[in-house]
Chain A
Amino acid sequence: MFSIERWQEIFEGLSKNKLRSVLTGVSVASGIFILVILLGAGNGIQNGIQNQFEKDAANQITVWPGTTQEEYKGLGIGRNIQFRNADYELINRLLEDYIEYKSAIYSVWSGNIVYKEETGTYRVDGVHPDYQFIENASIASGRFINHPDILNYEKTVVIGQKVANDLFKNNEDPLGKNINISGTIYKVIGVFTDPGGEREESRVFIPISTAQRTYSAGDKIRSMAFTLNKKAKFDDAVADSHEFSQQLENLLKPRHTIAPTDQGALHVNNSLEQAKNIYIITGGVQAFFWFVGICTIIAGVVGVGNIMLIIVKERTKEIGIRKALGASPFSIVSMVLQEAVFITVIAGFSGLIFGLILWELIGPSVEADFFTRPEVDFNVAVITLIILVVAGAFAGFIPAYRAAKIRPIIALRGD
Chain B
Amino acid sequence: MIDIKDLHKSYQMGKNALHVLKGINFNVKEGEFVSIMGSSGSGKSTLLNIIGILDEADQGTYNLDGVPIKNLNETIASRYRNKFLGFVFQSFNLINYKSALDNVALPLYYQGMGRKERMERSMHYLEKVGLANWAKHLPNELSGGQKQRVAIARALASDPKVLLADEPTGALDTKTSYEVMELLQQINDEGKTVLVVTHESDIAEMTKRIVFLKDGQIEEDNLITQIRASQYV
What are the 10 A-B residue pairs with the smallest beta carbon separation, nearest first? A326-B82, A326-B110, A409-B54, A415-B91, A325-B107, A328-B78, A329-B74, A328-B75, A321-B93, A326-B81
Instruction: Tell me, yes or no, whether B158 is within 8 Å of chain A by CB.
Output: yes
> A291 to B173, alpha carbons, bound, how many Å?
64
Cross-interface CB contact of A4 among B54, B95, B115, B154, cutoff 8 Å: B115
> A269 to B81, alpha carbons, bound, how many Å?
79
Name the B residues within 8 Å of A408 (CB-CB). Answer: 54
Cross-interface CB contact of A322 among B49, B55, B106, B115, cutoff 8 Å: B106
Instruction: Give residues 81-103 of B contacting A (CB, 8 Å).
Output: 81-83, 87, 89-91, 93-95, 97-98
Instruction: Tell me, yes or no, whether A121 is within 8 Å of chain B by CB.
Output: no
CB proximity of B160 to chain A, nearest CB, Å? 10
Name the B residues within 8 Å of A404 (CB-CB). Answer: 74
B79 pairs with A328, CB closer than 8 A: yes
Name the A residues within 8 Å of B55 (CB-CB). Answer: 409
Instruction: Tell me, yes or no, whether B111 is within 8 Å of chain A by CB.
Output: yes
What per-residue 1/0 map shows which CB atoms of B165-180 lie under 8 Å from chain A? 0000000000000000
What per-residue 1/0 map shows which CB atoms of B45-83 lie under 8 Å from chain A? 000010010110000000000000000001100110111
Given contacts A324-B81, A326-B81, A326-B83, contact A331 B95 (CB under 8 A): no
A330 pairs with B82, CB closer than 8 A: no
Instruction: Give residues 389-415 of A contacting B (CB, 8 Å).
Output: 404, 407-409, 412, 415
Residue of B nearest to A4 (CB): B115
Name the B residues within 8 Å of A415 (CB-CB). Answer: 90-91
> A327 to B81, alpha carbons, bound, how many Å?
9
Instruction: Tell me, yes or no, whether A18 is within 8 Å of chain B by CB.
Output: no
Interface residues of B, count at CB 8 A: 28
B115 pairs with A325, CB closer than 8 A: no
> A415 to B75, alpha carbons, bound, how many Å?
26
Residue of A nearest to B107 (CB): A325
B110 pairs with A325, CB closer than 8 A: yes
Instruction: Tell me, yes or no, whether A102 is within 8 Å of chain B by CB.
Output: no
Interface residues of A, count at CB 8 A: 24
Name the A residues within 8 Å of B109 (CB-CB). Answer: 5
Residue of A nearest to B93 (CB): A321
What per-residue 1/0 map shows which CB atoms of B108-145 lie under 8 Å from chain A? 01110001000000000000000000000000000000
What per-residue 1/0 map shows which CB atoms of A1-45 lie under 8 Å from chain B? 001110000001000100000000000000000000000000000
> A331 to B110, alpha carbons, bound, how many Å?
8
B107 pairs with A326, CB closer than 8 A: yes
> A38 to B38, alpha carbons, bound, how many Å?
69
Residue of B nearest to A407 (CB): B54
Cross-interface CB contact of B95 among A5, A321, A323, A328, cutoff 8 Å: A321
> A326 to B154, alpha carbons, bound, how many Å?
12
> A12 to B98, alpha carbons, bound, how many Å?
9
Q: Report B's interface with A, CB cutoff 8 A.
A: 49, 52, 54-55, 74-75, 78-79, 81-83, 87, 89-91, 93-95, 97-98, 106-107, 109-111, 115, 154, 158
Name the B residues within 8 Å of A317 (CB-CB). Answer: 93
Known: A322-B106, A325-B110; 11 extra A-B contacts, CB below 8 A, are A3-B115, A12-B97, A321-B95, A322-B95, A325-B81, A326-B83, A327-B78, A328-B75, A329-B74, A409-B54, A412-B54
> A408 to B87, alpha carbons, bound, how many Å?
12
Name the B residues within 8 Å of A173 (CB-CB). Answer: none
CB proximity of B7 to chain A, nearest CB, Å? 16
> A123 to B6, alpha carbons, bound, how many Å?
109
Residue of A nearest to B45 (CB): A413
B74 pairs with A5, CB closer than 8 A: no
Name the A residues within 8 Å of B93 (CB-CB). Answer: 317, 321, 324, 412
Instruction: Tell me, yes or no, whether A367 is within 8 Å of chain B by CB.
Output: no
Name the B residues within 8 Å of A5 (CB-CB). Answer: 109, 115
> A415 to B55, alpha carbons, bound, how many Å?
18
A323 pairs with B49, CB closer than 8 A: no
> A327 to B109, alpha carbons, bound, how many Å?
9
A412 pairs with B78, CB closer than 8 A: no
Given contacts A4-B115, A5-B115, A409-B54, contact A326 B79 (CB under 8 A): yes
Residue of A nearest to B87 (CB): A324
Given contacts A5-B109, A324-B54, contact A329 B78 (CB under 8 A): yes
> A274 to B211, alpha carbons, bound, how many Å?
92
> A317 to B92, alpha carbons, bound, how many Å?
12
> A326 to B158, alpha carbons, bound, how many Å?
10
Name the A residues within 8 Å of B98 (CB-CB). Answer: 12
Name the B residues within 8 Å of A323 (CB-CB). Answer: 78, 81
Name the A residues within 8 Å of B83 (CB-CB). Answer: 326
> A321 to B95, alpha carbons, bound, how many Å?
8
- The CB with the most chain B CB atoms within 10 A, among A326, A330, A415, is that of A326
B115 pairs with A326, CB closer than 8 A: no
> A16 to B98, alpha carbons, bound, how many Å?
12
> A5 to B118, alpha carbons, bound, how many Å?
12
> A329 to B73, alpha carbons, bound, how many Å?
10
Name the B residues within 8 Å of A324 (CB-CB). Answer: 52, 54, 81, 87, 93
Instruction: Tell me, yes or no, whether A219 is within 8 Å of chain B by CB.
Output: no
Name the B residues within 8 Å of A326 (CB-CB). Answer: 78-79, 81-83, 107, 110-111, 158
> A324 to B111, alpha carbons, bound, how many Å?
13
What per-residue 1/0 map shows which CB atoms of A242-284 lie under 8 Å from chain B? 0000000000000000000000000000000000000000000
> A4 to B115, alpha carbons, bound, how many Å?
9
> A242 to B74, alpha carbons, bound, how many Å?
65
A325 pairs with B154, CB closer than 8 A: yes
Instruction: Tell me, yes or no, whether A318 is within 8 Å of chain B by CB.
Output: yes
B89 pairs with A412, CB closer than 8 A: yes
CB proximity of A128 to chain B, nearest CB, Å? 85
CB proximity of A3 to chain B, nearest CB, Å? 8
**30 sample A-B contacts, Cβ–Cβ < 8 Å, listed by A number:** A4-B115, A5-B109, A12-B98, A16-B97, A321-B93, A321-B95, A322-B106, A323-B78, A324-B52, A324-B81, A325-B81, A325-B87, A325-B154, A326-B78, A326-B82, A326-B83, A326-B110, A328-B78, A329-B74, A329-B75, A329-B78, A330-B75, A331-B110, A404-B74, A407-B54, A408-B54, A409-B49, A409-B55, A412-B93, A415-B91
